[in-house]
């Protein structure tokens, strides 16, 4: 069940003045999607990294529009979390996207994580998901609902989910204050 989102340019939205660079990028992505995948690290279906990446992909697509900032945030979080370089992250994201096409629900990704990971690591998975969701500075209601459902499927109690979210929001507020925003 691939999310029905499209890749969006977060810049120019005036249809009378199209952004040529955005159109060119969209064409490049279109043709790249038609080309066969370059051989990369094979991602096993039961690999927790693939499950987390697929959940992240669902999360950035839930509002129907995947912006370059969201994609970059997801790729950065995956690279940071798992110590992957850019080519490895790209193959992981491609595998995650493909697995979301084949999946019928979130539970196919969360069940293995809930079984294999200790609670502290599941909390970290939720924190990573929230970092990606907050990349644009706010949590969209669809993103909030999806995070809530994922947390529930991971066995994370509602009060723990709220505490993780508040901690991340406070960290973001502190970072913004230090940056003078």
What are the structural domains, with CATH classification, of the chain? Answer: 6-12+21-179 (1.10.3680.10)
Give the pLDDT confidence of 144-162 residue by residue, as tens digits: 999 999 999 999 999 999 9
Whether the model clears a pTM of 0.85, i.e. scores above it, the answer is no
Q: Is the pLDDT of residue 39 over 60?
A: no
What are 46-72's pLDDT values in tens digits? 799 999 999 999 999 998 888 899 999
What does residue 66 show for φ and ψ, rounded to 5 degrees?
A: -100, 115
Q: Give the position of tokens 């790729």.
A: 75
Report the sign of the C-alpha dihedral through residues 49, 167, 64, 9, in that order: negative
- Cβ contact 9:22 at 8 Å: yes
């Amino acid at each position: 069940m691939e999310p029905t989102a499209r890749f969006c340019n977060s810049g120019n939205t005036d249809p009378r003045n199209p952004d040529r660079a955005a159109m060119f990028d969209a064409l490049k992505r279109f043709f790249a999607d038609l080309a066969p995948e370059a051989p990369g690290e094979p991602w096993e279906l039961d690999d927790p990294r693939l499950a987390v990446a697929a959940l992240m992909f669902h999360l950035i697509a839930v509002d129907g529009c995947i912006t370059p900032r969201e994609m970059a945030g997801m790729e950065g979080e995956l690279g940071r979390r798992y110590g992957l370089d850019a080519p490895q992250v790209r193959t992981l994201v491609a595998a995650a996207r493909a697995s979301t096409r084949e999946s019928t629900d979130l539970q196919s990704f969360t069940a293995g994580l809930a079984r294999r990971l200790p609670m502290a690591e599941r909390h970290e998975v939720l924190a990573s998901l929230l970092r990606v969701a907050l990349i644009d500075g706010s949590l969209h209601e669809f993103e909030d609902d999806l995070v809530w459902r994922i947390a529930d499927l991971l066995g994370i109690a509602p009060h723990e989910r709220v505490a993780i979210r508040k901690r991340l929001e406070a960290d973001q507020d502190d970072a913004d204050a230090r940056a003078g925003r």
